[in-house]
Amino acid sequence: MIFIKRYLIPRLIQYFLVIFVGITAVFLIPRALPTDPVGRTISQLEARGSTLDPGTIDEMIEDLTELYGLEGSTLDQYKAFWIRLFQGDFGVSFFQFPTPVNQMIRTAMPWTLGLLVTTTAIAWTLGILLGGLAGYFNRTRWSRALDAGAMIIRPMPYYIFAFALLLLFGYVLRWFPIAGGTDIGRQPSFSSAYIYDVLRHAFLPALSLILLGTTAWFQTMKLVVQNVNSADYVQYAKMGGVHESKIVSRYVIRNGMLPQITALALLVGQIFSGALIVEIVFSYPGIGTLLYNAILTGDYNLIMGITVFSIVGITTAILIIDLTYPLFDPRIRYS
Over its length of 335 residues, how does the chain's per-residue pLDDT go in tens digits?
A: 666 777 778 888 888 898 888 888 877 776 776 666 666 666 766 666 556 666 666 666 666 666 666 777 778 878 888 887 888 777 777 667 677 888 888 888 888 888 888 888 898 889 888 888 888 787 888 888 888 888 888 888 777 888 888 888 888 888 888 887 777 767 777 778 888 888 888 888 888 888 888 898 888 888 888 777 777 777 777 777 777 777 777 777 777 777 777 777 667 766 677 777 888 888 888 888 888 888 777 777 788 788 888 888 888 877 887 777 666 665 665 55
Classify residue 100: in a domain, yes or no: no
Q: What angle do CA 211, 255, 326 make, to 5 degrees?
A: 100
- Contact status, residue 234 vs residue 251, Cβ threshold 8 Å: yes
| Chain mean position to CA 215 | 18
Classify residue 7: in a domain, yes or no: no
- Contact status, residue 89 vs residue 81, Cβ threshold 8 Å: no
- Contact status, residue 288 vs residue 278, Cβ threshold 8 Å: yes
The rounded distance, in Å, linking the Cα atoms of 72 and 7 is 41
Domain count for the chain: 1
Classify residue 58: in a domain, yes or no: no
Classify residue 10: in a domain, yes or no: no
Classify residue 13: in a domain, yes or no: no
Burial of 263 (0-12, 13-18, 19+ CB in 10 A): middle
Classify residue 214: in a domain, yes or no: yes
pLDDT at position 68 is 63
Q: What angle do CA 160, 105, 157 make, to 5 degrees?
A: 10
Q: How far apart are the first and last CA of the chain?
A: 9
Classify residue 118: in a domain, yes or no: yes
Nearest to 216 by CA among 160, 265, 297, 151: 151
φ and ψ at 283, to 5 degrees?
50, 40
Classify residue 35: in a domain, yes or no: no
CATH for 142: 1.10.3720
Nearest to 123 by CA among 202, 208, 226, 199: 208
Domain, as residue range, for 217: 108-298+320-325
Using alpha carbons, list the distances in angstroms from residue 91 to 65, 67, 99, 301: 12, 7, 9, 6
Give the model confidence (pLDDT) of 84-124 as tens digits: 788 877 777 766 767 788 888 888 888 888 888 888 889 88
pLDDT at position 52 is 60
